[in-house]
Amino acid sequence: MKRVTLKGLLREGTGARAVSRIRGEGWVPANLYGHGEGNVHFQLRETEVAKALEQGHHMITLELPGSQDHGLLKEVQYDHLGERILHLDFARISLDEVIETSVPLHVHGTPKGVTTGGILDILHHEIPLRGKVLELPEFLEVEIGELLINQGIRARQIALPPGVAIALEPEEPVLMVHPPKGIEEEKPAAEAPAAAEAAAPAEESAE
């Protein structure tokens, strides 16, 4: 997994007033915990954090005064509008341990089923994976150009790097190409005349 490095500063205050001041200066308060070590309260530049999140980074190298740690992003808190990042929580990890995290799914191509009216339904935009930090991919790719209506891709069909496992059931659908809307509803209407014709001889026989 490609790692991004963010430089931060240690936080001296953790109260509401201190946090408000930090955010007002363009920083995001954050915590780092785990591995039997003490919690670290620090702050990162909001613009740098936003860029890392846009690029789908979950594992981040944190450079703080006098130390360097590797953190797995566990929680991101946003404001009520879902725009500003308010707080981050990182779990401390080592590069040789097995972790579980999610990576983005990148799809390539336009399904043949979509060009004939079908609807592409991506059920998992991110795929949960399990493996060593250095073996985990930054993202997963699938080619979908040959998919027809009522076809899809299941978890077991996604190619994975050696040593990496997908944390989904093998038959779990990842994406599907559904029939055009309305086809299912039209079937009963089309069958209705045939049902009426079948009933007519029975009524005449009864008479």
d(CA 103, CA 139): 5
Min mean pLDDT across 45-49, 149-153, 176-180, 188-192 is at 188-192
Which CATH entry fits the domain spanning 4-94: 3.40.50.150, 2.40.240.10, 2.60.40.1180, 2.70.210.12? Answer: 2.40.240.10
Which CATH entry fits the domain spanning 100-183: 3.30.470.20, 2.170.120.20, 3.40.470.10, 3.60.15.10? Answer: 2.170.120.20
d(CA 21, CA 11): 11
Listed in order, the ranges of the chain carrying CATH 2.40.240.10 are 4-94
d(CA 135, CA 76): 24
Q: What is the mean pLDDT of residues 85-103?
A: 91
Give the model's confidence band at 188: pLDDT under 50 very low, under 70 low, under 90 confident, else very high. Answer: very low
- How high is the pLDDT of residue 96? 85
Give the model's confidence band at 60: pLDDT under 50 very low, under 70 low, under 90 confident, else very high. Answer: very high
Listed in order, the ranges of the chain carrying CATH 2.170.120.20 are 100-183
Q: What is the mean pLDDT of residues 182-192?
A: 48
**Residue 101 vs residue 3, higher pLDDT:** 101
d(CA 99, CA 101): 7
> Cα torsion for 22, 3, 140, 125, to the nearest 10°?
-10
d(CA 104, CA 54): 11
- How high is the pLDDT of residue 58? 81
